[in-house]
A and B are shown apart, each in its own frame.
Chain A
Amino acid sequence: MPRVTFPHVGESYRAFKMLMEDLGNEVIVPPRPSRRTLDLGVRHAPEFACFPVKILLGTYLETCPQGVELIVTTGGVGPCRAGHYAQLHKKILRSLGYAVDVVVLEPPRLYPLDFLHSVRRLNPHRLSFRAIYECVRRAWRKLQALDNLEKLTHKIRPRELRAGETTRVYRRVLEWVDRAYTMREIVEAERAAAEELQKVPQDPAREVFKVGIVGEVYVLLEPASNLEIEEALGHMGVEVERSIFLTGWTRDNTWAETHEVLTVKDAALPYLPELLGGHGRDSVGNTVIFAKRGFHGVIQLAPFTCIPEIVARTILTRVSRDFGIPVLTFFLDEQTGKAGMITRLEAFVDLMRRRKGP
């Protein structure tokens, strides 16, 4: 059985692990990015490569010594650098003496043959397409369950009575979803988990601010890369809504551009008519949409030196002025300190409170 691994993106590894095992691979589960991951990644990645490159490289450097033969990751068509990560990582890993291969899943809409070939490589059990479809469907459902639960924590955390209770329950119920295998089990686990989360004692009268989170996909989806900003905001009584979830992102990049993306494009049109690569235009469009929906503020998360987000940030200054919505940006990398972030977040919440008035 080939030993495979993949990037660690939030809790999604639970679904991918199931899928890869179903197809007949031995999965080496990527560890949650830690200080050690960062040290390893930063040491071997180019200094101004973006933060995701460093974290992913660090993750691979942690799993490769365990005998990984194949890395599964996604590609891209530029001009965002993310499309080149896989090639860069392969070169660096090879130069460090790891004989790994990388399977890059390029958007099947553009490269259908390439995609089928990649799928074949990941399918040593030689399952039929019908059987693969069933496996993917279950993994997809699991991914949705994980996304839904995470969304729920965003609503409950700012209202919880005992600080940290939501996170504790969330950690516990994730394991229920993790253990579910059949379609029925997954649906059931999700329902039970949601009910358990709803039981967290809440204060319905608390003043809660709504903040939209926009930015680059990886630093949005991997809490370890954004210093758990959503949790920190939750503890300050802020309900966050993230513009990207893995299920939505996958859909946009595999089948057709969904309805949501089209509206985001429309919203961004007066400000940024061009697709910049990455999520530059989405950041602008989503900020406009959050503003129209009456959110109290928007936080943009971007890797340090990410050009699409830098262009977006330049334009967001204008959006912020036009719609009267405060926008706070964090350019994240290994040098970002949590203390500095908390200070800025507290000030941002105070600012929203003052704008809202008594």
Chain B
Amino acid sequence: MAPSVGIPCSLLYFWFYPFWETFFRELGARVVTSGSTNKQILDLGVKEALADACVPVKLYFGHVQALMPEVDFLFVPRLVCLNYQTTYCPKFLGLPDMIRHTFTGSPPLIDIRIDVREGLHALPKAYWQAGRALGAKHAAVARAYLLAWKAQRRYLTLLQKGLLPGEAAPGKSSPTGKRPPDRRGRLVFGVLGYPYLVHDPYISVGLIARLQKMGVGVITLENIPPRLLYRQPLPLDKRLFWTPGDLVYRAALYLLSSRRVHGLIHVTAFGCGPDAMVGKYLEQALRRHPEVPFLTLTVDEHTGEAGMATRIEAFVDMVRRPKAGW
């Protein structure tokens, strides 16, 4: 029987799932995902993870536990660096170790280390190791790798057309049928933050759906082509170290300078280390754009429905009221 590979639907899953799922499926493995976050998953994670860890780590622990009894392998990559310049936050660097030393009974981990600074072939080599863990032949891995890239590229194209990670999922409908949302004449907010917060409706308490229901168009980090972001001049002496944090900051600067949004929402996790810095720099950037209202939403495992609704409604009011006049 084909081995099953479990992929926790949390952290960078929202960015890379077409690649990961295609890769393992093409290798003949049965891909099992943990599905959307729910209360049970969160509760499991909160129970096992360190109380002082941020909620994304707790969520990841929960997703891993949901998968553990069902799979032969767990895919827990160690993402270090993908752009030669910035690294991921320390929790990504130590992710496989945290999982391995917390869950003694976990299935074997496929914990490939991805660091493109190691050389041109670092990326294919990492996935070759992942393929070898499943006992796949060299040619099969190469083929799966190429197909995975193809799926990922298609996904990125859809995102840049304005679809959100949840909507661009390969299985949901045919890619041709997906139209980018029409934002003309509507209120548009930039919703910036790490994908595992913004696109996980459970932990963000349905932030994006709430905004859409109130008639607000949403642009997220994923909708902006990376080359525009990397071209964005930075008002800093030293670039930020963390890839997602750096991108969020650049996206904010890009949205502000291109005047594409009526409001900006920054979603952050309680106690997030990099965001202590990113948030401060965002605040200073927004000070130069007083015309764009700014809201920071902090989420954690205790975030309640009521508090979230109040903040979002008040923010929408704040943007709308001056436009409508008192």
Contact = CB atoms under 8 A, between A and B. Distances in A.
B271 A95 contact: no
Chain A interface size, under 10 / 10 to 19 / 20 to 34 / 35 or more: 35 or more
Nearest to A284: B97
Contact of A79 (B54, B87, B276): B87
A318 interface: yes
B277 A84 contact: yes
A88 B279 CA distance: 11
A317 B276 contact: no
With most chain A CB atoms within 10 A of its CB, the pick from B80, B113, B240, B277 is B277
Contacts of B50: 310, 313-314
Given A79-B90, A314-B49, A331-B52, A49 B276 contact: yes
B237 interface: yes
A47 interface: yes
A336 interface: no
Given A49-B276, A81-B277, A314 B237 contact: no
A84 B238 contact: yes
Interface in B27-57: 49-50, 52-54, 57
B93 A310 contact: no
Contacts of A280: 90, 94
Nearest to A85: B277
A311 B49 CA distance: 10
Contacts, number: 121
Contacts of A272: 94, 97
Interface string B270-305: 111111110111001000000000000000000000
Contacts of B89: 79, 307
A277 interface: yes
B275 A310 contact: no
B91 A307 contact: yes
With most chain B CB atoms within 10 A of its CB, the pick from A47, A271, A305 is A305
A112 interface: no
A310 B93 CA distance: 12
Nearest to B236: A87
Contact of A273 (B88, B97, B271, B276): B97
Contacts of A312: 94
A90 interface: yes
B43 to A, nearest CB: 18
Considering the complex of A and B, which 7 residue pairs feature the smallest CB-CB distances, nearest first? A78-B241, A311-B94, A318-B101, A48-B276, A49-B276, A276-B90, A46-B276
